[in-house]
Every structure is written in C-alpha cells, then in structure tokens.
Structure 1
Amino acid sequence: MTSTETAAVGVDPAIAAFLYREARLADEARYSEWEELWDDDGLYWVPMSPDADPARDLSYIYDNRRRIKSRVAQLNTGARHSQTPPSKMRRLLTNLEVLERDADTVTVGSNFVLYEYRYQMTTWAGRVIHRVRAGDPARGPRLVRKTVHLVNAGGPVPTLAFLL
C-alpha cells in the first residue's frame, strides 16, 4: 500500500492530487487558477450549522458558479480592505475518504486545518465535502460542489475574506 492509499482511503490518486492542488491554489492566493477548477454548475457552501438547509437557513457563503466568479474577481483586485495586507495561509487536508461514487462523479469527505496569519495566527478547522466530476480528459477533474463544515460554525467567526 502506498502512502497515498493509506492517507486517502478508496480515493483515486488523481482525485486526491486534484483536492490537494485545490487547497494549495487557495492558500497561495492563485484565485484565477482556483476558479478554473470549477465546473459550470459549481456550488461553494459554508453553512452556519451542520444540518442547515441553504433554502431556509443563513450561510456564511453560498455561491453558485456566477458568484464564485464574482468573488474571485473581487479577490484579484487586491483592494479588499479586510485582506490588506493579505493573509498568509497553509492548510492540511487529511482523512480523505470516498463517501459516494457514481458514473462520472465522486464525493470525498476530509478533515482540514487551515492556519491563517494576518497580524495574529487564526486556526480554522472542520470537515470539507468535495464533489468532483471526472471531466473530459483535456480539462481533467472539475469541482462541482464544495461544502465546508466549520468546527465553530454558528459561533463567532473572524471575517471570511478569503477562500476556505
């Protein structure tokens, strides 16, 4: 068994590499490249509680593909006062496991810890659920849905002026 197989139970190594790349691009503020990972029907959601329904409950973030594009455009301006100077970030993804698989998509759950430094260290932690579409061979895998369940959801959280 390889180290990738032990770290990512049942997850295809190409999908694991895709998820690690998605995390790295967000950490490095390579927003346009991060946006390119999304498919046209993408949905990025950070609920305020684990059993939230986005149709009736408040969310920290609930972005469809058009809103993802808009968020990235704002981040790329460099004029977000809540990110001046920009945060330095590094995240760890661990305990990757396949939750669901069908003909062209796979849903992977994992735990994450994100270290953000901007004047002081802030630690973000939680569970992230990625739904990834195989995509065509030329484009590679595409992100269909990303749901981030924060450990401290529902409580006070610092500003979310970056990508989780």
Structure 2
Amino acid sequence: MSTMTLEEPTVSAAEQREVTEFVYREARLADEARYADWEALWTDDAVYWVPRAEGHDPNTHVSHIYDNRTRLATRVRQLATGYRFSQEPASPMRRLLSNVEINRTDDGYEVGSNFILTEIVAQSTHAMRVWAGRTTHRLRRVDGALRLASKKVVLVNGDEAIPTLAFLI
C-alpha cells in the first residue's frame, strides 16, 4: 500500500463527493456497530490492516490486525453474535474524519484521512478512550458501486502498548 503525497487533486468534484461520502458512511457504520452493512462495503479480496507503525511491512513486522477477507468476515460474525465479550455491549463510539485527500489510481481511488475516535469502554470501566491516526482507504468499483479493497489504519500510538482492538477501527 502506498503513502499519499501532497499533489494537486486528480479527481473531479463529483468523484470527490462520492468518494468522501463513501468514507464517511464506512466510518458511521463501524461506529454504529452495523456489522453486516459495514462488511457489505468490502471487496472479495479485501485487506484490513492496522500496522504497529507507518512503514512496517506485514510480511516482516507484527501487526495489530492484518485480516484478509475471510478473517474479516469471521471478525464481523464474532462481533454480531454477542459472544465477543470484549465488545458486549458494543462500545459506543464516534469518529471525526478530516484532511481527506483523494487520488485516482489505476483501478479506483486511494483516500487518505486523519481521524480521532472516542470510545466508551462499556464492557468494564466505562472509561473514555481516544484513538487517533491516519487511515488509507483503497476503493474500486464492483458492479458500478464503490467498494473497499483495503483499509490501513496507522495509529498515533500504534508502536506503544495499546488496549484491545476488538472493535472496528
């Protein structure tokens, strides 16, 4: 997965609106624990990746999450059962996205954005956690609709000891 560069926008205003709305919808579905709707956004060959730090290679470095499409489906099923006790009840959360940058790729779009996510740890302490980082979405069209081919989330504190990531970040 490449890193976004600061360049002139390569997309039209209509493309920018469509892609940005897709990224906002993906975040909202994750925040609202709408697991089936969130999972439906992904392509069959998708990768969901949370590296320990920017620049890490998932083949040579340990990642917090590195899920292919099958593992992603398993994660979603576990969350939906109510037996994923680290998320029962689901953590109330909301994220803010900013600095959205979109570049056209050979097969779709690469979208970089910053985020801050607040989570209430409803399963135990009811403490509020704040997560922050940069997300890179790779989108492509499948049957005319945008779909999520990959999502990479680089946490600001990713190389530190962090609590469980049992939810959809």
TM-score normalised by the chain length of structure 1: 0.89
Q: Secondary structure at the match of 2:109?
A: strand
Corresponding residue for residue 122 of structure 1: 129
1:35 CA displacement: 0.4
1:85 CA displacement: 2.5
Corresponding residue for residue 78 of structure 2: 74
Q: Secondary structure at the match of 1:66?
A: helix
Q: Secondary structure at the match of 1:141?
A: strand
Aligned residue type for 1:46: V
- Aligned-partner Cα distance in 2 for 1:51–1:15: 25
- Does residue 46 in structure 1 map to residue 50 in structure 2? yes
Aligned residue type for 1:153: G
Tell me which of 55, 58, 65 is aligned to 1:61: 65
1:81 CA displacement: 1.4
1:80 CA displacement: 1.2
- Does residue 93 in structure 1 map to residue 97 in structure 2? yes
Corresponding residue for residue 15 of structure 1: 19
More deviation, 79-88/13-22: 79-88
The number of residue pairs the alignment matches comes to 153
Aligned residue type for 1:39: T
- Does residue 153 in structure 1 map to residue 158 in structure 2? yes
Aligned residue type for 1:17: E
- Aligned-partner Cα distance in 2 for 1:104–1:90: 30
- Does residue 110 in structure 1 map to residue 113 in structure 2? yes
Aligned residue type for 2:43: D
Q: Secondary structure at the match of 1:32?
A: helix
Gaps of 5+ in 1: 1-8
Corresponding residue for residue 148 of structure 2: 143
1:136 CA displacement: 2.2
Aligned residue type for 2:141: A
TM-score normalised by the chain length of structure 2: 0.87
- Aligned-partner Cα distance in 1 for 2:99–2:82: 34
Runs of 4+ in 1 over 3 A off after TM superposition: none
- Aligned-partner Cα distance in 2 for 1:135–1:104: 10
- Does residue 29 in structure 1 map to residue 33 in structure 2? yes
